[in-house]
Amino acid sequence: MRYVIRGGAVLSMDPAVGDFAAADVLVEGKKIVAIAPSIDVRDAAVIEAKGSIVMPGFIDTHHHEFETALRSFLADGLLFNDGQPHGTVNYFDFILGKFAGVYRPRDVHISILFGSLSQLDAGVTAVLDVSQIHHSPEHTDAAIKGLADSGRRAALGYFEGHGDKTKYPDDARRVKTQYFSSSDQLLTMIMGGEIYLPGYDKTWRIGRELELPIATHVLGNFGIPKAFAERVQAKQIGPDNLFIHMTAMPDSAWKAVADAGAGVSIAVPIEMTMRHGAPPILKAMELAIEPSLSTDVECTMTADFFTQMRSMMTFQRGLVNDRALAGESGLPRLLSSRDVIRYATLEGAKHLKLDRKVGTLAPGKEADIILLDATAINVAPLNHVPGAVVTLMDRSNVDCVIVAGKVRKWRGRLLDVDLAALSRELESSRDYLFNAAGVDRNLFRS
Ligand SMILES: [Zn+2]
């Protein structure tokens, strides 16, 4: 397989490669071989890219894909019940308390597969699937099959499950040996090590024994700041940690993250709407920490990355602009469209330990590439490449999607999938889940 992506505006996100108003990208097998203004190849197929922006696929570092069947159910919900009428239907009581426990392996599979394909369609070529649904080894196998069946690059986040058949965390050894012994594949594994659950010392130990990165939700409540301080005290924070949210955490925790070179994944829209706390972008910038972006939960918000990037940029600028208007000096710099694209690509790759393979367009890297239509009615005429991506585009502009050299979306259509059949399966799973959880599916609940 050898083809050239011809004549697009190339936003490589790789400092050594740079930007091109028009260039060719040559792909051979899984890899990018060359990027140059004009590549003379006669024996390669051609993907015409004039009028398109050619850039690396987006990378989502925190997404609970098992909740795809519950999309839009919790659009107005908080993380927990605050005792007010708006708190009654909330994430802890409903999504985790009622729904998660009734999932069968087949529900895990179809939700993860459908959610993965939906993100692939939107140009998100890699994900950390934080699957807190490992009720049994069969649930784990189904989660991995869902990721594999999508043909997308993914890290299985091996987190906890519910009930007496769960084998978390000890089954991590089998899972690693059975599915993740090769590094030359689209799927990788990350250990879930929640510090609000008892026994986190053991989950972190197993993760490190298996040489897996460790991902952890970190919020300023549920006893997490105290547990985090204990991890710091025990010198357990390392560059293999990925901390999700980091909202409302004390400066001492941030210092430990910065000193260790650990990763931080921020879920801007979810943290604002579900009351995790303000997205900690200014704190991260103060310590020169570059975050990656999280879509988190589709029961409450879309998992597309245009929403992610726009939310991050406008939220940060809103905070800084208010302070500027109040006459403050010495302000943090304003985020630019290129900054948030870097969070959405290269920083995501770093945090999933995939930056050797993907995250930028460069010779030698695997070809995870998206083509965005800059001639579309919502974008034309093109006057600034990163700006058009962040401030104008949406998933309708994602024209072609390539994962490890393989074209998965072509001229606006996903390839090799029977979406009608998958939708029916997802709806049937949804019907079972609401029924088994005893939750009324009121389409107009206020
Ligand atoms: Zn989460």
- Mean pLDDT score across all residues of the chain: 97
Please report, for residues 39, 125, 166, the alpha-carbon distance to residue 138 in angstroms, rounded to integers and kept in the order given. 49, 26, 10
Calculate how far, in angstroms, residue 266's C-alpha sits from the geometric centre of ligand 1: 10
* Opening angle at CA 226, ends 62 and 101, nearest 5: 45
Rounded distance between C-alpha atoms, residue 21 and residue 26, angstroms: 16
Q: What is the rounded distance in angstroms from the CA atom of residue 212 to the CA atom of residue 203?
A: 11
Query: 289: CA distance to ligand 1 center in Å?
Result: 20
Q: Cα of 63 to ligand 1 centre, how many Å?
A: 7
Q: How far is CA 124 from CA 89, 115, 348, 374, 415, in A?
A: 30, 11, 11, 18, 15
What is the number of other CB atoms lying within 10 angstroms of the CB of residue 36?
A: 14
Question: Ligand 1 centre from 256 Cα, in Å?
Answer: 21
CA 147 to chain centre: 13
User: Which stretches within 135-214 are classed as H helix?
Assistant: 137-150, 172-179, 200-209
> What are the φ and ψ backbone dihedral angles of 2, each rounded to 5 degrees?
-145, 120
Distance of alpha carbon 240 from the chain centroid: 17
Cα of 88 to ligand 1 centre, how many Å?
20
- If you measure from the C-alpha of residue 349 to the centroid of ligand 1, how many angstroms do you get, rounded to a whole number? 18
φ, ψ of residue 347 in degrees (nearest 5): -65, -35
pLDDT digits (tens, 9 = 90+) for 17-29: 999 999 999 999 9
Residue 12 contacts residue 35 (beta carbons within 8 Å):
yes
Query: Maximum Cα–Cα distance for the chain, whole Å?
Result: 68
Centre of ligand 1 from the C-alpha of residue 61, in Å: 10
* Residue ranges with strand state E in 259-333: 263-266, 292-293
Q: Is-contact 262 292, C-beta < 8 A?
A: no
Give CA–CA dist 41/238, Å, rounded.
Answer: 46
Omega before 280 within 30 of 0, i.e. cis: no
Tell how far the Cα of 62 is from the centroid of ligand 1, in angstroms.
6
Q: What tokens were used for 144?
A: 């991995």
Q: How far apart are CA 171 and CA 206, in angstroms?
A: 10
149 CA → ligand 1 middle, Å: 23
- 156 CA distance to ligand 1 centroid (A)? 13
Per DSSP bridges, beta strands 31-36 and 19-28 are antiparallel
Quote the tokens at residue 72.
Answer: 């839009």
pTM: 0.98
- At 414, the pLDDT band (50, 70, 90 cuts) reads very high
245 C-alpha to ligand 1 centroid (Å):
8
Using the predicted structure, report yes or no on whether residue 259 has a pLDDT greater than 90. Answer: yes
pLDDT band of 316, cuts 50, 70, 90: very high
| Closest C-alpha among 207, 283, 281, 288 to residue 251 | 283
CA 322 to centroid of ligand 1, rounded, Å = 30
Q: Closest Cα partner for 265 from 150, 125, 128?
A: 128
Q: Span 322-334, mean pLDDT?
A: 97
Q: What is the pLDDT of residues 27-50, one digit of tens each?
A: 999 999 999 999 999 899 999 999
pLDDT digits (tens, 9 = 90+) for 73-120: 999 999 999 999 999 999 999 999 999 999 999 999 999 999 999 999
How far, in Å, CA of 76 to CA of 313, rounded?
23
Looking at residues 229-235, what average pLDDT do you find? Answer: 97
State mean pLDDT over 280-289: 98
Distance (angstroms) between ligand 1 centre and the Cα of 267 equals 9
Q: Which two tokens stand for residue 90?
A: 């909330």
pLDDT for position 1: 86
| Burial class of 189 by CB neighbour count within 10 A (0 to 12, 13 to 18, 19+) | buried
Nearest residue to 353 via CA among 112, 61, 32: 61
Ligand 1 mean position, distance from CA 119 (Å)? 17
Q: What is the pLDDT of residue 296?
A: 98
pLDDT exceeds 90 at position 245: yes
pLDDT tier for residue 15 given thresholds of 50, 70 and 90: very high
The stretches of 65-223 forming alpha helices (DSSP H) are 105-121, 137-150, 172-179, 200-209
Place of tokens 């952890």: 216
Question: Whole-angstrom Cα distance, residue 305 to residue 402?
Answer: 16
Start-to-end CA distance of the chain, whole Å, equals 53
Residues 127-165: tens digit of each pLDDT:
999 999 999 999 999 999 999 999 999 999 999 999 999
H or E, element range at 327:
none
